[in-house]
Amino acid sequence: MTGTRSSSATRAVFTPGQLGPLTLRNHVIKSATFEGMTRGGAVSDALIEFHRRMAAGGVGMTTLAYVSVSSDGRTYRHQLWMREEALPRMRALTDAVHAEGALAAVQLGHAGYFAGKAAIGTTPVGPSRVFNPAGLAFSRAAGEADLDRIAGDFARAGTLAVSAGFDALEIHLGHGYLLSQFLSPFTNRRRDGYGGDIRSRAAFPRRVLRAVRAAVSAASGGDRVAVYAKLNMDDGFAGGLSPGDGVEVARMLEADGTVDALELTGGFTSKTPMYLMRGGVPLAEMIAHERSAIRRLGLRVAGRQFMRAYPFEEAFFLPHARQVRAAVSLPLILLGGITRLDTMEQAMAEGFEFVAMARALLREPDLISRMRQGQASGSACDHCNTCVTEMEVRGTRCVFVPEQDWMTGPRWRAGQPGGAS
């Protein structure tokens, strides 16, 4: 066992990694997975413990998932959004992560036409007028004043994130959220300078990243905080963003110099939700947990068509990611079905600077420490995806891990600020 521990500890993935101005203790990032632990739009004790546990388990950095840059960018009423009142609890989260030796990132985004009309109290805004079947409402096309405001909201959110102690900002350009909606011809039907070919469709996301970079540099007194983008390489359906366009966007962002890295992803939440996860489709559980009678009926009638299954494959985004790797010299974060140590080593060997993991760490938060010690070579996750259905019930978690074993202290209610019930 001693020899195994020694060889594992010296693997490239466990050496320090550089992300812009940051030095991570290793090359593993806990990717953003919406936690469902923000009842009232506040950081709960459960959410702090979730990320503390990831940090204690050995990752180099853990990512607080989907924080909206404004109240009108939320998909749910209880979603966290960036504002002064949220900063003390966010600071408690970053302090807890830092105390375990890891760094903390925050994913900043705007839902665009995904935004829940009931949650935000107004008509959702997107690049074009589009119907959102989940929210049962049409969006309106963003005007110039909307674009000015949203770009400013991203910049302000970045400044507040620096104040909250986050080391890195992940700007969400994937999964069909607002900036991804601008990139995708499926949702961007504009005929002005923000629509048309991929260069025009990328204009607003690039504008947002320039604003964030400038704001963060000013707030941190220079280059102390990393900024990276979570970028769709492919929407996963005909008429969406193509892999070729995804490569072109990566080239543009590299030329702009606004990001320190790209985290490569794919899939479109309202069209190909399982494309970005692969594996099991827990439709029965989704129907059981759905509170809206209309959406529950919709899942029963059309769930199999909407929730199209994609077989799980280890490192399933790697083929597309290799195309981006060949096109840019920016640091890249490989995401998508990474569960084995040999896959991580392969990613390092192929020139990817970091790997991002999600479901494997929900099953085993201490997986990276155990891998480093030579006690594990892969995850026990079976890719059933039932963890996703727990999001609005007890918070995103692996259903095969007893709740009391996952969280320290008394049992908690996922959405309640302050934690324990």
3-state secondary structure of 215: helix
Compute the radius of gyration of the chain from its Cα atoms.
20
Q: What's the rounded Cα separation, in Å, for the pair 307 and 315?
A: 21
For residues 131 and 138, the answer to whether their CB atoms sit within 8 Å is: yes
Q: What's the rounded Cα separation, in Å, for the pair 344 and 28?
A: 9
DSSP string across 99-161: HTT-EEEEEEE--GGGS-HHHHSS--EESS--EETTTTEE-EE--HHHHHHHHHHHHHHHHHH
**Number of alpha carbons in the 13 Å side-chain half-sphere of residue 350:** 21
Question: Is 177 annotated in the active site?
Answer: yes
For residues 104 and 94, the answer to whether their CB atoms sit within 8 Å is: yes
Q: Is the dihedral of CA 335, 80, 180, 185 positive or negative?
A: positive
Q: What's the rounded Cα separation, in Å, for the pair 79 and 96?
A: 21
Q: What's the rounded Cα separation, in Å, for the pair 133 and 268?
A: 14
Q: What's the rounded Cα separation, in Å, for the pair 132 and 138?
A: 6
Instruction: Please name the residue ranges forming H helices in 184-242.
Output: 198-201, 203-220
| Options 66, 177, 194, 228, the catalytic residue | 177
What residues act catalytically?
177
